[in-house]
């Protein structure tokens, strides 16, 4: 099934109309109806009744994402939500680990207190508890584990932060966020695969598949790292997909003479 992203978006957010100053372009976008003036939507191309949402030179018109560009935005937002949910979940896990590390601390304190109680008793038997290898090992284990857990909590928080920053950036379709997502996600893929060798779960497999798809998709669709013409080709695609641009290109052959013909020939090539 083919989804009409343009009409879906218009149904949700309303049409995006604009009255350009350029007369010829203005005429193409404008219609007088029995119910009053109507303007063509820059997204879906339908005529919408009422005043235009903006006006001015065509070059100042808002760049309304349409078609494939709009579909890409939807996918990015889906990834943004997925990352936000994962980020919040990991923050919760980090908090749990941190709390657990503190309770480990409590266990150690308890142990130390016992040690204080028993120290005089053992001293009586000429046994120095503070230099006992067994006690040392136990103390070290508690300390080590506490620090390890704290480190794990900090690393989890850092990971969650990356996910949340990705989420915000992807939501607003920022190019840096696309790079961050690709690089960070790819960097964590080996860890995800390693996780799978330890214990297989459907959630892990789904996450891995989603992350691989996300990396490939963003790389190709957003033309990162100079792929398929890179940033310039991406911007060109966005521009040429815009409705005003399409209309402008369409109106050119209507003009019979002169430079317009040259221009249309140039556009065609």
- For binding to Zn ion (CB under 5 A), which residues are involved? 10, 15, 41, 43-44
Name residue 40's beta-bridge partners. Answer: 47
- Residue 249: enclosing H or E segment and its boundaries? helix 243-251
Closest separation in Å from C-beta 41 to Zn ion: 3
Name residue 47's beta-bridge partners. Answer: 40
Residue 149 CB: number of other CB atoms within 10 A? 19
Closer to Zn ion by CB, 15 or 83: give it.
Answer: 15
Closer to Zn ion by CB, 66 or 146: give it.
Answer: 66
Residues 6+ apart with CB under 8 A from 80: 166, 167, 168, 169, 170, 171
Closer to Zn ion by CB, 64 or 79: give it.
Answer: 64
Closer to Zn ion by CB, 46 or 235: give it.
Answer: 46
Closest separation in Å from C-beta 239 to Zn ion: 19
**For residues 224 and 226, what is the distance between their CA atoms, to the nearest angstrom?**
5
**For residues 71 and 106, what is the distance between their CA atoms, to the nearest angstrom?**
53
| 209 token code pair | 């598949």
> Which parts of the chain are beta strand (E)?
19-20, 30-33, 36-40, 47-49, 55-56
Distances in whole angstroms, Cα of residue 36 to Cα of each of 15, 20, 24, 175: 17, 18, 20, 41
- Residue 102: enclosing H or E segment and its boundaries? helix 67-124
Closest separation in Å from C-beta 105 to Zn ion: 60
Closest separation in Å from C-beta 18 to Zn ion: 12
Closest separation in Å from C-beta 93 to Zn ion: 43
Closer to Zn ion by CB, 13 or 126: give it.
Answer: 13
Closest separation in Å from C-beta 44 to Zn ion: 3
């Amino acid at each position: 099934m083919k989804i009409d992203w343009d009409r879906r978006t218009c149904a949700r957010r309303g049409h995006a109309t604009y009255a350009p100053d350029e007369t010829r372009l203005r005429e193409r976008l404008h219609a007088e109806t029995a119910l009053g003036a109507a303007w063509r939507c820059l997204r879906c191309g339908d005529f919408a009744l009422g005043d235009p949402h903006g006006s001015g030179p065509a070059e100042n018109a808002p760049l309304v994402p349409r078609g494939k560009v709009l579909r890409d935005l939807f996918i990015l937002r889906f990834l943004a939500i997925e990352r936000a949910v994962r980020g919040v979940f990991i923050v919760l896990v980090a908090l749990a680990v941190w709390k657990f590390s503190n309770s480990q601390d409590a266990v150690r304190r308890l142990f130390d207190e016992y040690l204080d109680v028993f120290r005089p008793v053992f001293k009586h038997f000429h046994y120095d508890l503070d230099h006992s290898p067994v006690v040392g090992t136990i103390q070290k284990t508690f300390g080590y584990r506490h620090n390890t857990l704290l480190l794990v909590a900090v690393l989890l928080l850092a990971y969650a932060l990356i996910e949340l920053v990705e989420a915000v950036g992807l939501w607003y379709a920022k190019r840096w966020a696309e790079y961050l997502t690709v690089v960070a996600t790819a960097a964590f893929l080996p860890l995800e695969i390693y996780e799978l060798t330890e214990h297989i779960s459907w959630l892990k497999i789904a996450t891995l598949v989603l992350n691989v798809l996300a990396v490939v998709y963003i790389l190709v669709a957003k033309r990162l790292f100079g792929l398929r013409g890179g940033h310039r080709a991406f911007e060109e695609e966005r521009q040429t997909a815009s409705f005003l641009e399409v209309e402008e290109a369409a109106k050119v052959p209507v003009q019979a003479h002169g430079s317009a013909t040259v221009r249309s020939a140039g556009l065609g090539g």
